[in-house]
Copies of this chain bind each other. A is one copy, B any other.
Amino acid sequence: ELRDAVIGFFQPKVLQGKKLLITAGPTFEPIDPVRGLTNLSSGKMGFAIARAAQEAGAEVTLVAGPVHLDTPAGVRRIDVRTARQMFDAVLPLAPEHDVFVATAAVADWRPADVSDAKIKKAPGRDVPVLELVENPDILAAVARLARRPYCVGFAAESHDLARHAREKLQRKNVPLVVGNLGPATFGRDDNALLLVDAQGEREVPCASKRALSRVLVQEIAQRLASRS
């Protein structure tokens, strides 16, 4: 851990003077005071990227869903629970950042009605049906801003990763989408990434999330430099 901190300290400062905003973790969409919809994202990838960006000299703001992870040193953290809270935290901050990295596994839908009291199971009572409504799309909203940061999307897919990642790139109108085979990697400490942009695809082979994060930060910094 000390060795790692030393390596971190000596990372090239490729994001010096840049401000990076990142979302991480799942969201939790309440059904009633105790239940909710969520997903298996651990937040580890996002926290690792926040750390790598900070080590690369960036000023980092991390908007985190409900996770059990320590805040990386030097990173400003804002905790939220739902997709709408994440949207409300991110949108006002986005225009003042140079880079926005959307790693959070934001719930696409939330229950249409939230019960104030715990929904009771009772003999003879019908099993409830959950009606869902769509959540706001945080990444697409940031990408539509007039003063928009360089936007990086994440695609966690169970199949057809390259195709889904490229679709996301076009649909959300962002310059870079990072694909990972989510269900196989959620909660794990290692991963493999597929970088998809207008130029093509690049695979970053399986490594620790920390190592992958450093590669990704370099890739983002290069694209940022070649753009300006």
Instruction: List residues of chain A with CB under 8 Å of any chain B CB.
Output: 28, 31-41, 68, 105, 107-109, 116-121, 127-134, 156-159, 164, 182-183, 186
| Cα of A28 to Cα of B159 in the assembled complex, Å | 22
Complex copy number for this chain: 2
| Cα of A36 to Cα of B38 in the assembled complex, Å | 6
Residues B34 and A35 in contact, CB atoms below 8 Å apart = no
Residues of B within 8 A of A40 (CB): 28, 34-36
Q: How far is the CB of A115 from chain B (nearest CB, A)?
A: 9
- The answer, among B38, B132, B133, for a CB contact under 8 Å with A130, is B132
Closest to A35 in B: B39
Residues A108 and B121 in contact, CB atoms below 8 Å apart = yes
| Cα of A130 to Cα of B111 in the assembled complex, Å | 9
- The answer to whether residues A158 and B127 also contact, given A118-B183, A121-B108, A134-B121 and a CB cut-off of 8 A, is no
Residues B133 and A127 in contact, CB atoms below 8 Å apart = yes
| Cα of A121 to Cα of B183 in the assembled complex, Å | 17
Closest to A41 in B: B34
Q: How far is the CB of A18 from chain B (nearest CB, A)?
A: 31
Contacts A/B (CB < 8 Å), 28 sampled: A31-B37, A34-B156, A34-B158, A34-B183, A35-B38, A36-B37, A36-B39, A36-B40, A37-B37, A109-B121, A109-B127, A109-B128, A116-B158, A117-B158, A118-B157, A118-B159, A118-B182, A118-B183, A120-B164, A121-B134, A127-B131, A127-B134, A128-B132, A129-B129, A129-B131, A129-B132, A130-B130, A130-B132
